[in-house]
Structure 1
Amino acid sequence: MAPYKDNGHLTQHQNNFNHYLSKARMTIECAFGLLKARWRSLLHLLPMTSVNKILQYIVACCVLHNICELRGDACNEPLTEISLGERAVRGLVNDVARTRVANAKRDRIALSLPLIQE
């Protein structure tokens, strides 16, 4: 999900949404970074066409990761991310229709979030 572009005219709800999204994104990126460091197959597109299978694969990686963590199996391998250019080449760039749907969802979420008291 993309944040609202800050052109100096964002509403309080839009700024609020950007704040919550940023906090959530940082947490999620750290979690996926840990998963990718341990399960290198997640670094590349999964060779699956079924969304359900991809979801199950990621959940399985999470469960196995948690088991490893509970047993003290540290993962110290360096992680190298794929570049944005590689992602585009691999076909991960959103098309216009998906962007419109995502923006509509973002608007609904922004209006439902509690406002930050500054």
Structure 2
Amino acid sequence: MEDDPSENEKGLWKLSVDGSSCASESGAGLVLTSPDGWTLGYALRFGFKATNNEAEWEALIARLTIAKNLEVQKIEVSSDSQLVVGLVNEKYEAREDSMAKYLAHVQSLK
């Protein structure tokens, strides 16, 4: 028996992001799940050295850009980065210029 999704969940896409950085390289993993249950998975390798926080931001930006190109209207994003989630949800204030710039870019993609 299938559950009938609530009106708020109809058409809701789900996005999971995880960025990673180590001494030699950085990248991200991304999964976008459609309301129908099919998934798009991506692995990204960045051509630049990124901190863990920058890798999380880059992963989020890449996925939001893809979702925008797919004309996704409603999306729920999850990330294991407390900093990124707190900044996007306006629970934290961006203190570093680079974090403020990433936040502004994400806001422009919303």
Quick check: TM above 0.5? no
Smaller-chain TM-score bracket: under 0.3
Bigger radius of gyration among the two: 1
Q: TM-score, normalised by structure 1?
A: 0.25
User: Greater share of strand residues, 1 or 2?
Assistant: 2
Q: Which has the higher contact order (CA 8 A, sep 6+)?
A: 1
Q: TM-score, normalised by structure 2?
A: 0.26
User: Greater share of helix residues, 1 or 2?
Assistant: 1
